Amino acid sequence: MLRYLLIVHFSKQGNHSEGLRLLEIALTLEPSNTQALTSIGNCFTHLERFGEAEKVLRRALDIDPTYSEALLNVGALRNKQGKHL
């Protein structure tokens, strides 16, 4: 858990590339971690890699369709892209 918090800290400090790199390593240890997947999606969004962001957020939702953070982030991503409902 501490490792995950340190990784998220990098991202929140604006170092999204380093946060993404570390999150992807962490994901190899827990491939079904929806929290890590959602954080990766957020990093991709901040890096304006929207297609990758949506793909990884949808992967989190495939694992847990009720995971509200991933649902909200898909909505925010689509809004940022101008893809309103």
Q: Where are the domains of the chain?
A: 2-80
* Maximum average pLDDT range among 9-13, 20-24, 63-67: 63-67
The pair of structure tokens assigned to 13 is 């400090």
Q: 60-70 pLDDT, tens per residue?
A: 999 999 999 99
What would be the CATH architecture of the domain defined by 2-80?
Alpha Horseshoe (1.25)
User: pLDDT band for position 7 (50/70/90)?
Assistant: low
How far is 40 from 23, CA to CA, in rounded Å? 6
CA 78 to chain centre: 14
Looking at residue 34, its pLDDT comes to: 93
**Cβ atoms 74, 62 nearer than 8 A:** no
Place of tokens 């340190």: 6
